[in-house]
Structure formats: structure tokens, C-alpha cells
Amino acid sequence: MIKANVNSKYEFSLDSTAENAIDLIEIKNGVFSIIKNNKSYNAEVLIANHAEKSFAIRINGNKYNVLLRDKYDDLLKELGMENAGVVKIKDLKAPMPGLVVDVRVKEGDVVKSGDALVVLQAMKMENVLKASTDVTVKKVHIKTNDTVEKNQMLISFI
């Protein structure tokens, strides 16, 4: 196996056989030039979620979603422990003082990671607070037009 380390941020490995040999150069942060079998490819990392090992990349203008797995991921899945590293959040607190412009969930809602939960206005800017993981809403502690303080409880999750 060859292990390439590009700025210690992007790593990959593959067979070191001649037919799999590649030349990789990072042109700028997250943008790469790749040569494989005398063909040139331009690759750009659009989204990198290292915790979930998921990436959105563009190669020669085509977008791909990539989920990386290794033998340890497969073993954890086989043992039923693939979600062992997932951190469950218990509540959402206000990251800053502000005005609740919109509450987009209600008690009992099942939300996915990235779903909008609350719109909070602070210093004349609207901030959309999103779910950081898949959760179920237990209790909504605020309503539209409420004024909240920093670290005030907004939503509790199951």
C-alpha cells in the first residue's frame, strides 16, 4: 500500500502496483491535480466531514459523494457498533443573545443532521441554528418573538 499525505489533511491509500500508480499535487487548499495512466484529472474537495468520513468532491466538473470505509469500519458494522462514535446532543442553547424570529420544529419532530431548528436574530443578522445530528425534539422552550440570552435553553432532545 502507498499512503499519500497531503498537508496531513487529506490522506488516501491504494495498491502500489504499477497500474494503480498516481501522481498527486495539491495546487491550492483542497484543489488537486492528479495524473493516472497518463490522464490528467482536476479534483476539488467541496465538503469534508472527517468525523463521518464523508466527502463531496468534484473531479473534472463531475460531483461525487464519497463515504470512506476501512476494515475497522466494516468490523464495527458487523458487531453492530457502527454508531458508537456518534455524539448525541441533549439540548440546543442560544449561542448568543438575540430575538427568536422563527421556530421551525415542534415537540415530537424527528430532525436530520443539518435541518433548520430555530432562526435567531442578533445584531440585525439572522442566524439559522441547525441540528448537528439526527435527533427527536423533546421540548421546545421558546416561541417566536421571544428574547433569549446567551446559553439559554432553546430546545431539548430525546
Provide the pLDDT for residue 4: 38
pLDDT at 98 over 80: yes
Per-residue CA distances from 47 to 75, 83, 156 (Å): 26, 21, 29
Residue-level pLDDT at 127: 92
Distance CA 65, CA 46 (A): 10
**Cα 123 to Cα 156: distance, rounded to the nearest angstrom:** 25
Domains and CATH numbers, the chain: 2-78 (no CATH), 91-157 (2.40.50.100)
Q: What is the pLDDT of residues 15-68, one digit of tens each?
A: 556 666 788 899 998 899 999 888 999 999 998 887 778 889 999 999 998 888
Alpha helices in the chain (DSSP H): 71-78
Q: What is the largest CA-CA distance in the chain?
A: 64
What Å distances lie between residue 144 and 42, 98, 104, 126, CA to CA?
47, 11, 10, 13
pLDDT at residue 84, rounded to an integer: 59
Of residues 80 and 140, more confidence is placed in 140
How much is the pLDDT for 6?
Answer: 39
**Can you tell me the distance from the alpha carbon of 13 to that of 36, in angstroms, rounded to the nearest whole number?**
14
- What is the number of alpha carbons within 13 Å of residue 12 lying toward its C-beta? 15
Task: Determine the pLDDT at residue 1.
Answer: 34
